[in-house]
Amino acid sequence: MKGSMTAAAVHRQYVDGLNAFSRQITDPVLRVRLGQEADVFFRACALGVWQRDGGALSPRHVEYYNAIYQPGKPVPSILFWELSTAVSEYPGFRPLDCFVRMRSCDKVSGTSLARSFVDLVTLMILLFAAVDDCVSPEEASFAKACADTLSALCEGDGLKAGKAPLDPMEFVTRHPAEEKPASSQPVPPPPPEEKKPETEENLPTVEELLAELDSLCGLEQVKADVKSLINLVKVRKLREEHGLPVPPMSLHLVFLGNPGTGKTTVARLLAQIYRAIGVLSKGQLVEVDRSGLVAGFVGQTAIKTQEAVQRALGGVLFIDEAYALAASDQASDFGREAIEVLLKNMEDHRKDLIVIVAGYTEEMGRFIHANPGLESRFNKYFYFDDYSADQLVEIFQSMCRKNGYTLDEDAQAYAKELFQALYAERDENFGNAREVRNVFEKAVARQADRVAQMESPSREELMALCRADLEEEREREGA
């Protein structure tokens, strides 16, 4: 069967491959930079190999592309026509920026990160090529050209190769007429061979998902609201099983709050929980905003919105800044066309589609009241409060721990002072956890500049974020 490997399986293999490689990295700065650059780089690799396949795209190519992301990173939501354009305009292979640092680490410490990364790139390109369960010679040639480009950079830096690199041409799919004797049979592409069926056993349980929800910083009222909603759904299902009447209920939700307060994270967990308790068949989250639903020409908005709905069937369609769909008072505004298409699909697929709309509290109130159909379908509201100063500090400390950084007492005290000031001075544009991530990433960059001046930094020095790395942030805020 063509395209037998699911997008979920592609996502798992992508994440597993990156995680396995990341575990080899001892340089915390390099690990962070790889995490920042990997998704964009590998999506570009997918565009390149699909261009070599003659550009004959299918909806499965869209699913594969949208599966190329790391947990906690933005989830792509490309549409078919957008992918077709991107493939046709693919500019050519370009090594990711942090490949320079990989080679530098190898020269200093004698490791083989760069060579291992070449093999990872080869395997990932072959994974993307197997979208139709077939790796063509043209696709394998593209994988080889990319690997050769990276290998040449290694050789230019004097990095010797250890074991022989993977040969993409050995993964070309052979048709029966082309098959050779068993002794010289080429190795089949690993992604389809390694595919594991998606079963209940390898999906997270309700208890595991609720534990993940509980581990989120703050959001106490939201957590309570989610658990109450789950209990309501469970009891409704039990009543149905016992032949008891159940009152009509809409599971579509409105998330109200400022940016960076965890709305997308909670929506993703809720989608998986709904799947675990049998409300949804798949439990995926498809995230869009106005630009993902509205086109600039008459008739195109309905098509674009319908595409987003089709990708979300069986899961949750999460519309961020949904109020932008009704921002204009003009009857000809295409946002209103998108709303009408959404409302029809919410009715047609009411048993296997949940829509969550999100945005600022005041603007979302106007949005819901802009159409009677919205008011009738969205009657459950979750309020996401801004994080407190102490919670911002907690989020910052968690980011440090997860990324292998430490804070001494002086740095911890200053971090508390910094986030208390940021919280006190916040306005309507305050980004909550996004502000914390900005502070963290800037501090990491300044720490890298500082450590790079050391002749032979120790492990502790590579991990340490000091007060000075944070003080410069405060000075810039006050400038």
DSSP state letter for 107: H
Ordered DSSP codes for 359-371: E-HHHHHHHHTT-
Are 404 and 460 a contacting pair, CB within 8 Å?
no
CATH number, domain 203-384: 3.40.50.300
Q: Which ranges in the chain are annotated with CATH 3.40.50.300?
A: 203-384
Q: What does the pLDDT read at residue 266?
A: 94
Q: What does the pLDDT read at residue 33?
A: 93
Q: Which residues of 236-273 are buried (b: 16+ CB within 10 A; e: fewer)?
A: beeeeeeeeeeeeeebbbbbbbbbbbbbbbbbbbbbbb
DSSP state letter for 407: E
Q: What does the pLDDT read at residue 174?
A: 62
Using the predicted structure, report yes or no on whether residue 182 has a pLDDT greater than 50: no
Among the listed ranges 20-34, 122-136, 372-386, which one has the minimum average pLDDT value? 122-136
Confidence of residue 475 (pLDDT cuts 50, 70, 90): low
**∠256-259-262 over CA atoms, to 5°?**
75
Say how far apart CA 250 and CA 399 lie, in whole Å.
36
CATH of 389-478, one of 1.10.8.60, 1.20.1050.10, 3.40.50.1820, 1.10.10.10: 1.10.8.60
**∠103-108-114 over CA atoms, to 5°?**
25
Tell me the sheet residues that pair with 254. 357, 381
- Average pLDDT value for residue range 314-326: 92
Confidence of residue 108 (pLDDT cuts 50, 70, 90): confident
What type of residue sits at position 468?
Answer: A
- Predicted TM-score (pTM) of the model is 0.56
Q: What does the pLDDT read at residue 4?
A: 57
Using the predicted structure, report yes or no on whether residue 478 has a pLDDT greater than 60: no
Among the listed ranges 188-192, 271-275, 336-340, which one has the minimum average pLDDT value? 188-192
Using the predicted structure, report yes or no on whether residue 202 has a pLDDT greater than 80: no
- Average pLDDT value for residue range 51-58: 75
More confident residue, 332 or 183: 332
- Average pLDDT value for residue range 331-342: 80
What type of residue sits at position 112?
Answer: S
Say how far apart CA 173 and CA 348 lie, in whole Å.
42
Q: Which ranges in the chain are annotated with CATH 1.10.8.60?
A: 389-478
Confidence of residue 189 (pLDDT cuts 50, 70, 90): very low
Q: What does the pLDDT read at residue 185?
A: 46
Nearest to 441 by CA among 19, 21, 36: 36
Q: What does the pLDDT read at residue 298?
A: 57
- Average pLDDT value for residue range 130-158: 87
Among the listed ranges 95-99, 108-112, 159-163, which one has the minimum average pLDDT value? 159-163
Q: What does the pLDDT read at residue 19?
A: 87
Nearest to 376 by CA among 360, 352, 355, 358: 355
Q: What does the pLDDT read at residue 291?
A: 86
Structure-block tokens of residue 117? 């990364």
pLDDT tens digits for 387-414? 999 999 999 999 999 899 999 899 999 9
pLDDT tens digits for 245-259? 888 788 999 999 988
C-alpha dihedral sign at 328, 348, 67, 214: positive
Q: Tell me the pLDDT of the chain averaged across its residues.
A: 85
Using the predicted structure, report yes or no on whether residue 474 has a pLDDT greater than 80: no
Secondary structure of the chain: what % helix, strand, coil (to 5)? 60, 5, 35
- Average pLDDT value for residue range 414-436: 88
Q: What does the pLDDT read at residue 23?
A: 87
